[in-house]
Amino acid sequence: LSFFSMSRSIVRQSKFRHVFGQTVKAEQGYDDIRVSKVTWDSSFCAVNPKFLAVIVESSGGGAFLVLPLSKSGRVDKNYPLVIGHSGPVLDIDWCPHDDNILASCSEDCTAMVWQIPDRSLTSPISDPIVILEGHSKRVGIVTWHPTARNILLTAGSDNLIIIWNVGTGEPLITMEDHPDLIYSISWNRNGSLFCTTCKDRRLRVCDPRKREVVAERLAPHEGIRPMRAIFTRDGNIFTTGFTRMSQRELGLWDPTNFEEPIALLELDTSNGVLLPYYDADANMVYLCGKGDSSIRYFEITDEPPYVHYLSTFSSKEPQRGMGFMPKRGVDVSKCEIARLFKLLDKKCEPITMTVPRKSDLFQDDLYPDTAGPEPAMEAEEWLNGRDEDPILVSMRGGYVAPKNRELKVAKKNMLDSRPTTRRSMSALETNSLPVTDKLTNTYIIIDRYLRLCIDLSIFFPHPY
């Protein structure tokens, strides 16, 4: 079934059939942003109800820009950056349980976790809360667990997947099941499984706590170009890839029966990798191709053909990347069901997706309770085998982000000690001194420095 024949199929009833996209006014965009030119198929952008983060060009290392959403307009060229990485930043991801915590990964073989203040930055941030060192090659994927506090997954070009407890800086699980470069990773709704796509053309479903691949499918798309895969709320897997003739293609799969796809649809002959963004509440997928100037969106249902084309939002300039706002951040008063942040060469344009409704009242059918910022369990509980769906919050009246949310952390949790940076793995021992010993060492260093200054006559200028 082709994309075009599908779009001409019989009209069906759906409240999302007339969803339309619209670029916000120019003054509500973000201008003069030097978006990274690194050749890596990540979105380069992450957004939550408080902040917009964009990976940017930087000399002498890797950097990304973090702006409060309210700080639209032209970005000052001297605006402070987050600059801790020594190599280009490849991926960033906001913590779903704390809007001020962001994770990044880089070509310098590390991942880092950052605390971002509520106010606009006045100076560069160079000290992460924790540095995660365990990969031997560049780290290209970083993604938080959807329901457990402080669980972070990283994947690198060493073909390793490492799951960390960022509260202690410790690696909890390491998986070596992939023989080649990992293209994408997506957790399922409760974080019990994740799916991966790989350069060996296999789609895998992994159980991290059992440290095993529980299902796999060779070549869900027959082409050799990169694939992407995401879990849907029903436990199916939505994929994008290429046919043998290099046509772009999307698929829907049941991981308990990988023999035949639920749906397989050809789209077009463009060569940009299709990045899927999934809205679990509406069961909709937005497809954004790198280098495309359009966003296609689809609804997934239980009725054939299962993946229903809705519409296409088109604009003039091609996109370099895309950010997708969690449902908590949309404007319910305007019947906005999604907001995407389109990266161009030197700016970021928010795009609103709206369901046309005449009433100004809250639309219950558009806004079921959505995943809130409260984690459903602690890291140790998840590691010991517990599974929980996200804790839901009501969208009635709109979601108000807390100004400075306290983290409920375990005793050893480093997210409590904001000013200090702690390294994981082998560098961890350097921070194991008691506080009294650290203070004593500090006093000794200051005393030696003052004595040295006196010896060099810094405090006493020469009489002539």
DSSP string for residues in 268-308: ----SPEEEEEETTTTEEEEEETT-SEEEEEEE-SSTTSEE
Distance from C-alpha of 278 to C-alpha of 298, rounded to nearest angstrom: 10
DSSP assignment letter at 38:
-
Amino acid at 295: I
Distance from C-alpha of 346 to C-alpha of 54, rounded to nearest angstrom: 11
SS3 for 442? helix
Is the pLDDT score of 400 beyond 90? no
Distance from C-alpha of 194 to C-alpha of 164, rounded to nearest angstrom: 15
Q: What pLDDT does residue 360 have?
A: 80
SS3 for 331? coil
In this structure, are residues 246 and 223 in contact, taking their beta carbons and an 8 Å threshold? yes
Q: What pLDDT does residue 402 have?
A: 63
pLDDT in tens, 238-266: 999 999 999 999 999 999 999 999 999 99
Cα–chain-centroid distance for residue 235?
A: 20
In this structure, are residues 306 and 252 in contact, taking their beta carbons and an 8 Å threshold? yes
Task: Enumerate helices (H) and strands (E) in the chain, giving the number of each.
Answer: 3, 32
Sign of CA dihedral 218, 220, 221, 225: negative
Q: What pLDDT does residue 382 have?
A: 98
Contacts of 287 (CB under 8 A, 6+ apart): 240, 250, 267, 274, 275, 276, 277, 295, 296, 297, 298
Q: Which residue has the tokens 């006045």?
A: 122
Mean pLDDT for the chain? 88
Q: What pLDDT does residue 444 have?
A: 46
Cα–chain-centroid distance for residue 432?
A: 31
More confident residue, 192 or 271: 192
Q: What pLDDT does residue 460 have?
A: 44
Give kind and range of the element (H or E) at residue 7.
Answer: helix 3-7
In total, the chain counts a number of residues equal to 464
**Nearest CA-CA partner of 73 in 400, 354, 350:** 350
Distance from C-alpha of 463 to C-alpha of 168, rounded to nearest angstrom: 56
Q: What pLDDT does residue 3 have?
A: 52
Burial of 369 (0-12, 13-18, 19+ CB in 10 A): middle
pLDDT in tens, 345-370: 999 999 999 999 988 889 999 999 99
More confident residue, 207 or 425: 207
Which range, 11-25, 277-291, 443-457, has the best average confidence (pLDDT)? 277-291
Amino acid at 430: T
What percent of the chain lies above the pLDDT cut of 70?
84
SS3 for 92? strand
Burial 51-81 (b: 16+ CB within 10 A, else e): bbbbbbebeebbbbbbbebeebeebeeebbb
Q: What pLDDT does residue 119 have?
A: 87
Tell me the backbone φ, ψ of residue 450, rounded to 5 degrees: -65, -40
**Nearest CA-CA partner of 84 in 119, 118, 110:** 110
Least confident of 63-67, 233-237, 444-448: 444-448
SS3 for 1? coil
Is the pLDDT score of 228 beyond 60? yes
What percent of the chain lies above the pLDDT cut of 90?
78
Is the pLDDT score of 441 beyond 80? no
Distance from C-alpha of 7 to C-alpha of 10, rounded to nearest angstrom: 9
Strand order in the sheet with 101-106: 89-94, 101-106, 110-115, 130-133, 422-423
Q: What pLDDT does residue 144 have?
A: 98
Least confident of 32-46, 161-175, 377-391: 32-46
Is the pLDDT score of 292 beyond 80? yes
pLDDT in tens, 303-345: 999 999 999 999 999 999 999 999 999 999 999 999 999 999 9
- Tell me the CA distances in angstroms from 433 to 166, 312, 444, one per residue in order: 20, 58, 15
Amino acid at 370: T
